[in-house]
Structure 1
């Protein structure tokens, strides 16, 4: 018996730039028509995306979204980012189109296409609850970190994620030193994505000034390296 299949159809401003963009990500065009209405079908492996033209579509006001389940995400993100950087001169992490950032151990990322559609690539074995349901820290910073992480990775809402961290970081006793360190690195990463390099450097200086056990500082090396990588991709 054949399995059912679901194929998302996403609106687009125009077919040509949409198909060129997805071509960078390895999607091949399997069907295209211009009349009586613009329509195209694409495929990458087992994933299919269809597109239809919509007059007057505003990419900045778009909210269409779909999920693609994949076996792994880190190498996939690396390949997508490299292809986009080659075309755009840098990895687009804000505006339209863009790709969300990737940290080691992350299980999903989002690509926003030229028409504002969000396509979320999710690792097949992603833990339930994004793997942070057991992260039940009762401190203000602990709760802020969890909320900011979900705003960043689920909604691509960097600005609100930054505000959540800012509110918690203003209070000196909001959490443990390790939570403050994690929050400062996360805030620096968000600042780079929001094109606020002075704030990014300020957060990193505060992080460097914290007194932490060597083991705790070492546990944050990957996150700090991700900020440095993001800075380089924006040069």
Structure 2
């Protein structure tokens, strides 16, 4: 890098989510395009395009009472939803994991929901 050159990175927020088992989390998210970007015994980062999800070990988490949530805003909501569904995650109103179908929300965006193996609810939001 030359004098005066500074690498500019965009500000961003990345959710920190629980994982009862890193191997199971990698297998689950890997079925619809997430790849391991970093992993050691105490932290893991999965990525898919520009989306990053960071996980910490939480073997004690009860997926049926978990309050963890995150929003993922994507340009191709229908494509992501279809990939998750094709991976075997069922559309249903109860159970873990599950998908809740995409619907137009009163605030003007289309949203679907993915509840992962650890009970984390991911809001899959159609971006602008």
TM superposition score normalised by structure 1: 0.46
Deviations 1:48-105 (A, max 9, x none): 00111113110000011111111121232122111125xxxxx252311111123699
Q: Which runs of 5+ in 2 are unaligned?
A: 1-7
Large movers: runs of 4+ above 3 Å: 102-106
Q: 1:98 to 1:6 in 2, by over 3 A?
A: same
Separation in structure 2 between the aligned mates of residue 2 and residue 102 of structure 1, nearest angstrom: 32
Separation in structure 2 between the aligned mates of residue 92 and residue 20 of structure 1, nearest angstrom: 19
Separation in structure 2 between the aligned mates of residue 26 and residue 117 of structure 1, nearest angstrom: 18
Q: State how 1:161-176 maps to structure 2 within 5 Å.
A: none
The structure whose Rg is larger is 1
Bigger RCO (CA 8 Å, 6+ sep): 2
Q: 1:58 to 1:104 in 2, by over 3 A?
A: closer
CA-CA distance at 1:121 after TM superposition? 1.1
Deviations 1:131-159 (A, max 9, x none): xxxxxxxxxxxxxxxxxxxxxxxxxxxxx
More strand by share: 2
Tell me which residue corresponds to 1:83: 87
Aligned pair count reads: 117
Tell me which residue corresponds to 1:96: 96
For residue 66 of structure 2, the aligned residue among 40, 62, 82 is: 62
Q: State how 1:55-204 maps to structure 2 within 5 Å.
A: 55-84=59-88, 91-93=90-92, 94-102=94-102, 107-125=110-128
Q: Which runs of 5+ in 1 are unaligned?
A: 86-90, 126-235
CA-CA distance at 1:13 after TM superposition? 1.1
Deviations 1:27-53 (A, max 9, x none): 00011112xx3x211100000001111
Over aligned residues, Cα RMSD in angstroms? 2.0
